[in-house]
């Protein structure tokens, strides 16, 4: 068994939580501290010192940055998928849907309409607060040329939303519902910046949504 395989096995079994925390944060010192603490707890009354616990922890975590195992890749994917499901579930509940496919279509339609109205820099700043999988959907089909698109009134904006919705879906109701979800998930400062990039007549949509109109 080679050295990397040994570290990988220890990381995935004996020290799963510190390893998962390290994958999320990238903080190797904190991960080493957690492992040293577990070594201390596991040692019980057996001979040892804090220094020896720390040295053993360092030996275990030293190669973690170079050991991205299948388990860790699955962990990162599962985390991204879980976050996406949270968003879609919230859209489902907000709009009264019973499946994630309709929620996905609604979220995509509104995000694309917002995206195309934003200047390129603001488009990227907004995207940075989206879950990674939703960010991919957000950018799908996007080009920076001729952005932002001119949207002069609410009807034009809703026409843009409706282009990506199945027939029978109400673009106004969907837009209000998705904006409510975005207001809950995106920072207030970023949503203010997004709103600022829309014509005054369209900004009322955010006010109406905040006041609970559906």
CATH number for position 120: 1.10.490.110
Note down the domain range covering 139.
Answer: 75-210
Q: Are residues 127 and 47 in the same domain?
A: no
Task: Name the domain boundary from 16, 46, 68.
Answer: 68
* Structure confidence by residue, pLDDT tens digits, 133-192: 899 999 999 988 889 998 888 899 999 999 999 988 999 999 999 999 999 999 999 999
pTM: 0.65
Tokens representing 65 are 């940055």
Same domain as 90, residue 54: no
48 shares a domain with 13? yes
Q: Are residues 86 and 50 in the same domain?
A: no
Q: Considering its fold, how many domains does the chain have in total?
A: 2
- Tell me: do 42 and 119 sit in the same domain: no
Query: Are 43 and 112 part of one and the same domain?
Result: no
Question: Last residue of some domain: 46, 68, 90?
Answer: 68
The domain boundary, picked from 47, 68, 89, lies at: 68
Tokens linked to 32: 């080493």
Do 33 and 64 lie in one domain? The reply is: yes
pLDDT in tens, 67-120: 666 556 666 677 888 899 999 999 999 999 998 999 999 999 999 999 999 999
């Amino acid at each position: 068994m080679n050295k990397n395989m040994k570290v990988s096995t220890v990381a995935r079994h004996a020290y799963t939580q510190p390893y998962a925390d390290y994958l999320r944060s990238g903080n190797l010192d904190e991960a080493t501290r957690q492992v040293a603490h577990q070594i201390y707890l596991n040692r019980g009354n057996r001979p040892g010192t804090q220094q020896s616990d720390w040295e053993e922890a360092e030996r275990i975590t030293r190669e973690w940055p170079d050991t991205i195992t299948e388990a860790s890749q699955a962990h990162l994917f599962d985390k991204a998928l879980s976050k996406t499901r949270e968003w879609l579930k919230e859209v489902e509940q907000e709009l009264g849907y019973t499946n994630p496919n309709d929620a996905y279509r609604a979220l995509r339609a509104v995000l694309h309409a917002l995206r195309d109205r934003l200047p390129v820099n603001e488009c990227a700043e907004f995207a940075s607060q989206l879950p990674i999988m939703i960010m991919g959907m957000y950018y799908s089909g996007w080009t920076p040329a001729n952005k932002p698109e001119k949207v002069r009134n609410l009807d034009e904006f809703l026409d843009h939303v409706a282009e990506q919705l199945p027939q029978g879906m109400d673009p106004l109701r969907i837009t209000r519902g998705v904006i409510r979800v975005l207001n809950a998930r995106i920072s207030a400062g970023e949503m203010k910046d997004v709103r600022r990039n829309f014509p005054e007549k369209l900004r009322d949509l955010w006010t109406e949504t905040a006041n609970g109109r559906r």
